[in-house]
Chains A and B, each alone.
Chain A
Amino acid sequence: MKLARVEVKRAESLKRHTIAIAEAFIQALKPLRITIEYPRERRKYPDTFRGFIVFNPERCISCFRCAQICPANAIQMSVYKRAYPGIDYSKCIFCHFCVDSCPTGALSSSKVHDVAFKNMDEMFVKANQMTSLPKLHREDEVTVEYEIEKGVLKLKKEKIREDLSLPAILPAVKAKKVVCVDPESCIGCKLCVQVCPHEAREALVFEKDENKIKIVIDKCFGCGLCVRVCPMNVLRLEVVK
């Protein structure tokens, strides 16, 4: 098969050259440029864009749900006062399933989207490093916002430095505590005591010479780990009245 040459008439060709050069002059005088001079100008993203995850230890009930739901296995729980999550940003895919799954709103998003680390070890961010935003060397002086009016994209520049923290969104989940619905059936295996994330394991107590469970309600966070492991299914989470 012979390839045919594309024939363009001379007048048409000249017209196209003229249009191209005219467009260049228009753009040179008033460019429709949307490039941002990144470190000095920062684009304002919607609040729902997922960024660095901030952790509030006071709200955390150590339920392990963030670690279990993480599809990239990036969250590792480590024990301080209780078991708290730490995030490995070399694995994290910023799906924010952990933030969504948190029943108390202890994990929340922030506007720090450019997370950078100096080495691999630093990429594992422990719970105590997540309690506030990471230390940033901020060069931005201008905040740029994209505005679309009638299909035309325009830049709106303001000489302000944007606050990168976001308020935590508290889920509408009521606080729950563990109760033993059928103490008679307890076989005294003490599995519930072993999984209790509370360091002193004070929430679930077995008194001496008695293989029956006794729950100390004040110490329970309602994480529900014991409910899951109980072989006799006698533990339940119930809403606190």
Chain B
Amino acid sequence: MDVIGIDIFGIVSFLFNIFKSNMLNIPLLKPLIDFLMGIPILNLIVALVLWRPFFGVVILPGLTGLMLYLLWIVYFERKLAARVQWRVGPIEVARPLRGAIQALADGIRYFFQEVIVHREAHTPYFVQLPILSFIPILLPLAFIPAGAVVGIRTPYALPLTVAFISLIPIFVIAIGWASNSRFAFIGSMREAFMYFAYEIPFVLAAISMVYVYGSGDLYVAVEKQTIPGILLNPLAFIVYLIVMLMATSRLPFEIPEADQEIAFGPFVEYSGILFGLVMVLAYEKLYLMSLLFVILFLGGWSGVEIPLLGDLVAPLVLFIKAVVVISILVIVRAVYARYRLDQAIRFGWSNLFGLSVASLIFGIMVGWLM
């Protein structure tokens, strides 16, 4: 197999050996995997899927997990808010399942809807930015570990993840700018104001946990949590919880999007699949932040041991914990009204900032004691 001087077979077998050397160990599926590994081309695919870095980034807790989570949370948030507010919520799509595939149906509808690019838009940016905004969503997934499954193992995983999450609002502001409309402009201005109000407490809360665990390595963070992080630094926990609401436009702080005032703010001009991409941006950010939240404060993937599933347990546990945290968190949407921008910024710069500084000092003390 020697085509134009390149040994394709050699490259494939080289890649296959790389994949094979670092595969997931799942005792339950062992006979099936062994059987599939005996079939020529299929074994390459199986080896790739079960290759630990690939599995971490693309399957769980990576892209596939993210998509599953999106299908769940968009439906569940609407349904939960409806339940608390004595309504029924989405119900007509798949009635026997009480509308459970509503998010999937919406997604399919976005695909077949026309994408309108209005005349005033900066067309290249307007079209590219929703797609480019996936970069800061997907990159942190490479650094978030789940047991033996990890994309890139580094002692700087926590600072890197925080840095990439902090990049997302830049894209939101850029989207608002590219839309070149007054609502989008107001929305991106609000996003910029909010960004400064929540980002500093967020970074301080994350750094305080670095002091508590003595390392930015998320493996060390999980190992050190014989007592969960909630109890080690409750102040940072509270700050992180509120910041999660602020950073992802959950309702008391849903100021940049503000449906009733500025009609989804920076994303007002989008339609079709581009709207689908920008609409889930906040949910994706929430997913990343809650993965980090679970690792820092709730013991990460530790705590459950199922020998039959082997390496699969850790990503599953991390994913389920994150989804449960978010599912509980979205209940605030049902009870709160929206703060004014000045109220939210005052809260961010006074109470939240003070609390985060206190959590940093508390974290340094706890780290020193440990």
Residues of A within 8 A of B (CB): 20-21, 23-25, 27-28, 31-35, 37
* C-alpha gap A24/B333 in the complex (Å): 10
Answer whether residue B182 sits at the interface, using C-beta atoms and an 8 A cutoff: no
Is B91 a contact partner of A20 (Cβ separation < 8 A)? no
* C-alpha gap A21/B328 in the complex (Å): 11
A152 vs chain B, min Cβ distance (A): 14
Quick check: which of B48-56, B81-89, B112-120, B160-168 contacts chain A, the rest being far away?
Answer: B81-89
Contacts of B103 in A (CB 8 A): none
B193 vs chain A, min Cβ distance (A): 21
Contact of B84 among A31, A35, A37 (CB under 8 A): A31
Is B83 a contact partner of A28 (Cβ separation < 8 A)? yes
Contacts of A21 in B (CB 8 A): 331-332, 335
B319 vs chain A, min Cβ distance (A): 22
Residues of B within 8 A of A (CB): 80, 83-88, 91, 331-332, 334-336
A194 vs chain B, min Cβ distance (A): 59
A234 vs chain B, min Cβ distance (A): 67
A195 vs chain B, min Cβ distance (A): 56
Contact A28 B331, CB 8 Å, known A34-B86, A37-B91: yes
* C-alpha gap A25/B86 in the complex (Å): 13
Q: Report the number of A-B residue pairs with Cβ-Cβ less than 8 Å.
A: 36
Pairs A-B, 6 closest by C-beta atoms: A24-B335, A33-B86, A27-B84, A20-B335, A24-B84, A24-B331
Is B334 a contact partner of A24 (Cβ separation < 8 A)? yes
* C-alpha gap A21/B336 in the complex (Å): 9
Is B336 a contact partner of A20 (Cβ separation < 8 A)? yes
Contacts of B87 in A (CB 8 A): 33, 35
Contacts of B91 in A (CB 8 A): 37
Contact A35 B88, CB 8 Å, known A20-B336, A25-B331: yes
* C-alpha gap A23/B331 in the complex (Å): 11
Is A33 a contact partner of B83 (Cβ separation < 8 A)? yes
* C-alpha gap A37/B86 in the complex (Å): 12
CB nearest to B252 among chain A residues? A17
Contacts of A33 in B (CB 8 A): 83, 86-88
Contacts of B86 in A (CB 8 A): 27, 31-35
CB nearest to A26 among chain B residues? B84
* C-alpha gap A21/B334 in the complex (Å): 9
Contacts of A34 in B (CB 8 A): 86
